[in-house]
Amino acid sequence: MPIQTQVLTKVIRKKEAVFGTLAGATGAREFRKVSDSIALKKNKIQSAAIQTNAQRPMARHGGRTVDGNIGVELALGLIDSELASVVRRDWTAVGPLTNLTVTASAAAPHFVRAAGSWVTDGLALGMLVKFSGFTAGAAANNGKLYTIIALTATEITVAETVVAAASAAAIGLTVPGKITYIPETGHTNDSYTIEKWYSAVGESYRFTGQRVASINIGLAADDKVSAEIAYMGQDRKKDVAQYFTNPAAPGGGDMLVTPSGLAIINGKATKVCTNFSLDINGNASVGKVVGANVTPDVFMDMIDVSGQISVYYENGEMDDYFDQEQAISLINRLDDGIGGAFVIAMPYVKVFGGGESGDKEIIRQYDYTAGPNAAGTGAGKSTILLQDTTLV
């Protein structure tokens, strides 16, 4: 008999039209997984009877639930659906801006418009933008992917080098790809069918009613970027035939790596960040009912955004943020090496506590929690903003 191997195991998913009902058999997409632990769980109902033979009566099976994680190496476009699900908002494009009158400066603020508002036009802290229309020596500003590290109605400050230019008309700005964030209203509530197809033994495990409970992203120095998607779901069925027909390949480009990008703490690009983690937690839970062995739904609660950041101890700045309970911003930009990039931006963050490690150089670790930005509007008011420049 053949023995099933991980190499021959496909993990495939597709959004459901109705919670707990198998998604259509076509149009699914395979995971490019590093690990998976999604499995059916059952509650054990144990007898409390006291018997003179000192033997416990047999337990019974109770309610059925599914949970577990899918681990991946993060790449552009690889888990775009799941990222949108965890923040409960679909990816959308930001409309291009045209015929602006803008002055460019080598020092901050780098791009100043003569009229109108960047904020009203949909820009937000952490977004990646491209300009067009600069001429002569300032043409180097055109088509360059800039990271917004500070923003007002008329001023943009970026992390990258800018060539100065006198006030010029007919300037354009685009936000490449698409963005998503935690919205104030109109939250989505996606569920998925996930199939594990064990081709060597001819078994299909079909997990239905799977909601994205949380996503954890880890950035360690000089390493790949890891992501772990936690699912919580309703039930699992088995069959002997693969359900999803002709699932799409996993997609995504090369894995993202931490040496290629930027870590920006409170508006300053830093070269001392050694580790960064992000947890977007939807606080999912399941219910129990009389007369059925599956939950009627997976209930999503408030979204918590938190993590940890570690830095070489070069000054007391991070401790000052902690001591004074100062709100700061955190931005991580990850480049794919061929012009694409992914951004995680949190405009309103507070650090909590701090440990210390290191046998030689000292590394300080700080927990952080992000919250909604009362000073912002639209995407800029959200606890977290995500952008993938390759989405169309």
Residue 232's closest CA among 61, 19, 84, 75?
A: 19
Q: Which range (304-308, 345-349, 359-363) has the least confidence? A: 359-363
**pLDDT above 90 coverage of the chain, percent:** 93
Query: In this structure, what token pair is assigned to residue 126?
Result: 């952490």
Residue 347 predicted with pLDDT over 90: yes
Query: What are the phi and psi torsion angles at 137 (to 5°)?
Result: -65, -25
11 has a pLDDT exceeding 80: yes
In this structure, what token pair is assigned to residue 220?
């360690």
pLDDT in tens, 138-197: 999 999 999 999 999 999 999 999 999 999 899 999 999 999 999 999 999 999 999 999
Sequence-separated (6 or more) residues with CB below 8 Å from residue 206: 22, 193, 194, 195, 236, 237, 238, 239, 243
Whole-number mean pLDDT of the chain? 96
pLDDT of amino acid 129: 98
Identify whether the C-beta of residue 6 lies closer than 8 Å to the C-beta of residue 203.
Answer: no
Of the ranges 200-214, 267-281, 353-367, which one carries the lowest mean pLDDT score? 353-367
Give the tens place of pLDDT for each residue, 213-230.
999 999 999 999 999 999
CA angle (140, 101, 138) in 5-degree steps: 15
Contact 84, 180 (CB under 8 A): yes
Alpha-carbon gap, residue 111 to 371, rounded angstroms: 28
pLDDT of residue 355: 83
Measured in degrees and rounded to the nearest 5, phi and psi for residue 318 equal -65, -40
Query: Is the distance from CB of 122 to CB of 178 less than 8 angstroms?
Result: no
* Chain segment 216-271, per-residue pLDDT in tens: 999 999 999 999 999 999 999 999 999 999 999 998 889 999 999 999 999 999 98
CA 112 vs. chain centroid, Å, equals 31
CA of residue 244 relative to chain centroid, distance = 26
Instruction: Flag whether pLDDT at 199 surpasses 80.
Output: yes
pTM for the whole thing? 0.95
- 46-52: average pLDDT: 96
Three-class DSSP category at 366 = strand
Burial class (CB in 10 A: 0-12, 13-18, 19+), 18: exposed
| Cβ atoms 190, 211 nearer than 8 A | yes
Instruction: Look at residue 251 in the predicted model and tell me its pLDDT.
Output: 86
The percent helix, strand, coil of the chain (3-state, each to 5) is: 5, 50, 45
Residue 23 pLDDT greater than 90, yes or no: yes
pLDDT of residue 252: 81
Report the chain's C-alpha Rg in angstroms.
24
Instruction: Please give the pLDDT value at position 353.
Output: 79
Give the pLDDT band (50/70/90) at residue 302.
Answer: very high
> Comparing C-alpha atoms, which of 306, 305, 288 is closest to residue 297?
288
Residues contacting 132, CB < 8 A, separation 6+: 142, 143, 171, 172, 173, 174
pLDDT tens for each residue of 83-122: 999 999 999 999 999 999 999 999 999 999 999 999 999 9
* Residue 354 pLDDT greater than 80, yes or no: no
Interatomic CA distance for residues 16 and 206, integer angstroms: 12
Beta strand pairing call for 268-269 and 192-198? unpaired
Largest Cα separation within the chain, whole Å, is 96
Band of the pLDDT at 357, cuts 50, 70, 90? confident
Question: Is pLDDT at 9 greater than 90 in this prediction?
Answer: yes
Give how far Cα 257 sits from Cα of 53, 178, 237, 343, Å.
62, 21, 38, 13
